[in-house]
């Protein structure tokens, strides 16, 4: 993250949700659906700092999967439809609410890591302090 002084701070939400570089806002963050590029093609920012781990999946599970499954259970208990109705209603709803938010959430978490300079926790006074 050297040479960050020449760049105006950008909103992690605005850059991350669009999948843009958190430093310049121009380059792409992803090279696939969820694979992070090694570096920005516009400003050269190395994305080695980016490690959102399971954060995006956790948020999607909490805020999308649980309500989606609750909807499917509610449909089953109230209407008792045939299985094909769940294939037409519950399954697409579950897939849309669980897969689509992953990329924007991952981009937002990576951009937030950059903006707030998040890093691995260290004990105070350890020999590896920088």
Residue 53 belongs to domain spanning: 4-115
Task: Look at residue 14 and tell me if it is in a domain.
Answer: yes
Task: Look at residue 126 and tell me if it is in a domain.
Answer: no
Task: Look at residue 10 and tell me if it is in a domain.
Answer: yes
Task: Look at residue 43 and tell me if it is in a domain.
Answer: yes
Task: Look at residue 127 and tell me if it is in a domain.
Answer: no
What residues form DSSP beta bridges with 36?
A: 30
Cα–Cα distance, 21 to 11 (Å, whole number): 11
Number of domains comprising the chain: 1
| Share in percent of the chain as helix, strand, coil (round to 5) | 50, 5, 45
Give, as one character, the DSSP assignment of residue 7: S
Residue-by-residue pLDDT tens, the chain, 130 positions: 545 668 888 999 999 999 999 999 999 999 999 999 999 999 999 999 998 999 999 999 999 988 899 999 999 999 999 999 999 999 999 999 999 999 999 999 999 999 998 887 778 776 665 5
pTM, 2 dp: 0.83
Q: Would you state the torsion angle of the CA atoms of residues 101, 112, 120, 124, taken in this order, to the nearest 10 degrees?
A: -140
- Start-to-end CA distance of the chain, whole Å, equals 15
């Amino acid at each position: 993250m050297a040479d960050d002084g020449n760049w105006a701070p950008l909103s992690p939400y605005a850059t991350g949700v669009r999948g843009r570089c958190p430093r310049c806002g121009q380059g792409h963050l992803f090279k696939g659906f969820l694979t992070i590029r090694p570096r920005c093609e516009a400003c050269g920012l190395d994305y080695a700092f980016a490690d959102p781990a399971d954060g995006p999946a956790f948020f999607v599970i909490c805020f999308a999967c649980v309500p989606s499954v609750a909807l499917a259970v509610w449909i089953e208990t109230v209407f008792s439809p045939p299985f094909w109705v769940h294939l037409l209603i519950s399954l697409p709803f579950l897939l849309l609410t669980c897969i689509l938010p992953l990329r924007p959430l991952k981009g937002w978490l990576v951009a937030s890591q950059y903006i707030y300079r998040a890093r691995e926790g260290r004990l105070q006074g350890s020999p590896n302090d920088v």
